[in-house]
Amino acid sequence: MVLIAQALAQQPEILVMDEPTSSLDIGNQIRVLEQIDRLAQRGLGITVISKMVHISGKPVHIRV
């Protein structure tokens, strides 16, 4: 979460995250994914690269 906060401090229009939940336990994976979802709902463009199959079917938010 600290790295996400550091990135947000720069007020980006888009975040690109490569494996943001790697090496996290399931509880923290859920927290990070929920935070990513909240940021997307606020209109922030987000690209997540992940091998986590269970999130691949989640709706994608695209900001053009």
Total number of domains in the chain: 1
Q: How confident is the model at residue 62 (pLDDT cuts 50, 70, 90)?
A: very low
Tell me if 60 is assigned to some domain. no
**pLDDT score for 51:** 76
**What's the pLDDT tens digit per position in 7-47?**
999 999 999 999 998 999 989 988 998 899 999 999 999 98
Tell me if 63 is assigned to some domain. no
Tell me if 40 is assigned to some domain. yes
CATH number at 36 reads: 3.40.50.300
Of 33, 31, 40, residue with least CA distance to 8: 40
Tell me if 41 is assigned to some domain. yes
DSSP secondary structure code for residue 7 in this structure: H
Tell me if 61 is assigned to some domain. no
Mean pLDDT of 34-62: 77
Round to whole Å and give the CA distance between 54 and 48: 13
Round to whole Å and give the CA distance between 62 and 7: 19
**Domain extent at residue 25:** 2-55
**pLDDT score for 5:** 92
